[in-house]
Amino acid sequence: MSEAEPESTEEHWEALYTERDQTWSGNPNVALVDVVGPIVSAGVGHAIDLGSGEGADAVWLAEHGWTVTGVEISGTAIERSRSAARQASIADDQIRWLQTDLADWEPDEGADLVTACFLHSTLEFDRTDVLQRAMTAIRPGGHLFILSHAASPPWSQHKHDDEDLPNAEEEAASLNLSTDEWQVEVAENRSRRATGPDGEEATLDDVIVLVRRRG
């Protein structure tokens, strides 16, 4: 009897998104709105959303006049993103949905903002490399925003080893920033109340990092 073929990255994420008709809340991440909101309101630009999921963050940015590239591996998630954008009356050319594996992705455009919200995977994934590649696209004066788990949500079916999840200082340090070129504007852990997919309530710990390219 032959061994089963290992699950591919695309199959892994397709399985997650097809478990439910809707995986996430449909609302932008609260910390994104809180931290990035002043930047978004100060003027329009172009954003790249890494692991854009079902599109809520990208749609929120587009609603504020920004153009967005949403990078996501799951075709199901992208179809839901397109539907969310249509429901929000976002013009087709305002958001570009790019289906690709972030491990193979290279930025092909400049950005004023790169967002990476809960960019975690239980599969082998060089997350720091993806973030550092994305930073090469950020224009002077632009920002990188990272929102990540400091500990796995209790309802998660895809548990991480919490000892491997960095705190805010470790997250910022992992980017290996040149202080001549980059400024850390926010690096902190925050707690929030959240409700799980089956109505469970819990206090979650998040890591928030915001860095700006000088110039």
- Say what angle helices 56-63 and 75-87 make with each other, to 10 degrees: 30
Do the bridges between strand 67-72 and strand 111-117 make them parallel or antiparallel, or are there none, so unpaired?
unpaired
What pLDDT, on the 0 to 100 scale, is given for residue 15?
86
CA atoms within 13 A on the CB side of 157: 10
* Sequence spans of domains, the chain: 28-213
Q: Which run of H or of E encompasses 184?
A: strand 182-195
Contact 150, 206 (CB under 8 A): yes
* Residue (of 151, 149, 184) closest to 169 by Cα position: 184
Sign of CA dihedral 148, 150, 156, 161: positive
CATH fold group of domain 28-213:
Rossmann fold (3.40.50)
What is the Cα Rg of the chain in Å? 17
What tens digit of pLDDT does each residue of 148-164 get? 988 776 656 555 555 57
Task: Tell me the per-residue pLDDT of 160-202, one tens digit each, with 9 for 90 and over.
Answer: 555 578 899 999 999 999 999 999 999 999 988 776 666 777 7
* Whether pLDDT at 124 is above 80: yes
